[in-house]
Amino acid sequence: MATRNEEEGGSRLWRGMRHLIFGAEAEPIINEPAVRIANLSGVNLNVRNIAAMELPAQLFDKRQFKAGDVIEFSSTLLTHCHAYRVEWRGKFKLQH
């Protein structure tokens, strides 16, 4: 299954990153070591999950990001047993 970025001729590095597993108070698992993940789940026995991901510029075939760059990104969150599915997608213009 090709990622959207691969279908549009995107970065060679980005093509391999397809899965990120996080939650259940465990360390996040990802198949792209350049991506940093921060995750809080199950705090105070709460089922909410808070996650943040840092995507390096190299994954978008850029040396570094600068103001005015437009990044296209899409992501899908599937909960345990696929009970819920949430998708985010869009083009984001970076600012200062």
pLDDT digits (tens, 9 = 90+) for 13-66: 455 556 777 776 677 888 888 888 888 877 776 677 788 888 899 888 889 999
- Tokens at residue 51, please? 């996650």
pLDDT of residue 5: 42
pLDDT over 60 at 77, yes or no:
yes
Domain that holds residue 8: 4-93
Q: How many domains does the chain have?
A: 1
Rounded mean pLDDT, 56-82: 87
What's the CA gap between 38 and 52, in Å, rounded? Answer: 5
Pairing of strands 85-93, 70-78: antiparallel
pLDDT over 50 at 4, yes or no:
no
pLDDT of residue 68: 95
pLDDT of residue 74: 83
